[in-house]
Amino acid sequence: MAYEVVVPIPVRLVWGVFHDAARLAECVPGLSNDDPPRHDGEGPYLSGRLRLRAGGTTVTYRGVVAVAEAEQPLAVVATAEGVEARGEAPVKAVLTIRLDDEGPSTRLVFDGTLSAQGRTAELPPEQLSAAWRRLADRFGAALTEELAPVRDQELPDAAPVRLVALPDAAPTVVESRPRTVVVPAPDPEGSRAKPLVRRLAPPTALLVGAFLARRAVRARRRRKAARDED
């Protein structure tokens, strides 16, 4: 029974599941635990019931699965022993699972042997092989679902956003003319003094001129009268 499944999970995470009894139990499709998953010293030890569908027949097995590391690197050996839930026919499977590192993915290579009696032994070989492949595919899908959140958390942070300076548009030139601002000098007499002086200046000049002219005429008359008396 040789078969391969590729999962989009790094090999390090997949390898860890084969050493974690609780997680491994979550990934075995059709498994109902009778006892909590545990370690027996060599690896995970699972106890419960497993349902296997082959063609139009569904068979339930009651037994245990023990997992231990194989001699070759990144490989485990899973030994399953049990009986049919109905009829007590024995069944035993020895399965080697090798992990091939493919960067962000892992290739699971399954190979093993099966010995069975009862209803399982009566199944056609092609149905039994199809059931085995479906079980491996479902195991790969469950493994991916179990480890995808862990994988996503370990991904590197997204690259920081770079701000790219775009070329500026042509500058708009605004011409401005210099303005002359006239600031008036301080007015000690108040804001109304200068307008009043400007209004009074012309009449005052006329009066002063007339006054001086009259004095000049009178002075000439007195000088003339004095000469006439002499």
Number of structural domains in the chain: 2
Encoding tokens for residue 126? Answer: 């092609």
Residue at 222 is within a domain:
yes
Q: Is the domain of 202 the same as that of 128?
A: no
Q: Is the domain of 100 the same as that of 211?
A: no
Residue at 168 is within a domain:
no
Q: Is the domain of 47 the same as that of 141?
A: yes
* pLDDT for the residue 195: 46
Q: Strands 3-7 and 38-39, how do they pair?
A: unpaired
Encoding tokens for residue 51? Answer: 């349902």
Altogether, the residues listed in the chain come to a count of: 230
Give 10-residue mean pLDDT values along the chain (230 residues).
93 97 95 94 94 88 96 96 91 96 97 91 90 94 96 64 46 46 46 44 52 61 57
The Cα–Cα gap between 85 and 63 comes to 9
* pLDDT for the residue 95: 96
Number of neighbouring beta carbons within 10 Å of residue 33: 15
DSSP characters over the chain: --EEEEESS-HHHHHHHTT-HHHHHHHSTTEEESS--EE-SSSEEEEEEEEEEETTEEEEEEEEEEEEE-SSTTEEEEEEEEEETTT--EEEEEEEEEEEEETTEEEEEEEEEEEE-THHHHS-HHHHHHHHHHHHHHHHHHHHHHHHHHHHHHSPPPPPPPPPPPPPPPPPP----------PPP-TT-TTHHHHHHHHHHHHHHHHHHHHHHHHHHHHHHHHHHHHH-
CATH number of the domain where residue 143 is located: 3.30.530.20
Domain containing residue 88? 3-154
Q: Among candidates 57, 58, 50, 12, which has minimal Cα distance to 34?
A: 50
Cα dist from 174 to 44, 181, 212, whole Å: 81, 21, 63
Say which residues have a Cβ less than 8 Å from residue 151's Cβ, sequence separation at least 6.
8, 9, 10, 13
Residue at 179 is within a domain:
no
Residue at 111 is within a domain:
yes
Q: Which of 132, 154, 176 is the last residue of a domain?
A: 154
Q: Which of 99, 134, 154 is the last residue of a domain?
A: 154
Residue at 120 is within a domain:
yes
Residue at 183 is within a domain:
no
Q: Is the domain of 148 the same as that of 198?
A: no
* pLDDT for the residue 135: 93
Q: Is the domain of 142 the same as that of 206?
A: no
* pLDDT for the residue 35: 94
Residue at 22 is within a domain:
yes
Q: Is the domain of 126 the same as that of 28?
A: yes
Q: What is the pLDDT of residues 170-224, one digit of tens each?
A: 444 444 444 444 444 445 444 444 443 444 445 555 554 555 556 665 666 666 5
* pLDDT for the residue 100: 98
* pLDDT for the residue 221: 63
The Cα–Cα gap between 152 and 196 comes to 91
With b for 16 or more beta-carbon neighbours within 10 A and e for fewer, the 77-105 pattern comes to: bbebebbbeeeebebebebbbbbeeeeee
Q: Which of 101, 131, 154 is the last residue of a domain?
A: 154
